[in-house]
Amino acid sequence: MAPARTEPDLSFFLDHAGHSLRTRMAAALAAIGLTPRMHCVLVHALEEERTQIQLAELGDMDKTTMVVTVDALEEAGLAERRPSSTDRRARIIAVTEKGAEVAKRSQEIVDGVHRTALGALPEDEREVFVRAMNRLVTGHLATPVEVPQTVRRARQRTK
């Protein structure tokens, strides 16, 4: 006999919603030949001069994933590695003119995915939901705690 649940399963709600949103984002961005990681790198690299390591941290990517992502951006002519203007030892990821145009379009796509998701809520609940989520991710759930083993995503059921 399973113990009675006394609180809503926030872990399931947040994980499932996040996964679903990520898959929708990936499908929408694929229409213009980008991945969510490529979009993330382009947008953050346009904000200010950033190194590959800084961009990897912002996008929560490991070094290998970041290298593959930047290689793909370079291959598509959307970004290039250049020497930093402030530290000649460092290399930054510079977005090309074509990359800036693609980033503008990809941001419109990302905003559309978010708008559609929020549009599934009644209008009077949208602002409350966003404010509550923001409060959680900047407050109580802002920082993961240290655990002895890496917490992995649950395996998804196939249909």
pLDDT tens, position by position, 5-36 = 999 999 999 999 999 999 999 999 999 999 99
Residue 64 maps to a domain: yes
Residue 13 maps to a domain: no
Q: What is the pTM of this model?
A: 0.85
Question: What is the domain count for the chain?
Answer: 1
Is 156 a residue whose pLDDT tops 80? no
**Nearest-angstrom CA–CA distance, 100 and 88:** 24
Is 152 a residue whose pLDDT tops 80? no
| Domain boundaries, position 128 | 24-138
> DSSP readout, 120-145?
TS-HHHHHHHHHHHHHHHHTTTSSPP
Residue 70 maps to a domain: yes
pLDDT in tens, 55-108: 999 999 999 999 999 999 999 999 999 998 888 888 899 999 999 999 999 999
Residue 68 maps to a domain: yes
CATH number of the domain to which 85 belongs = 1.10.10.10
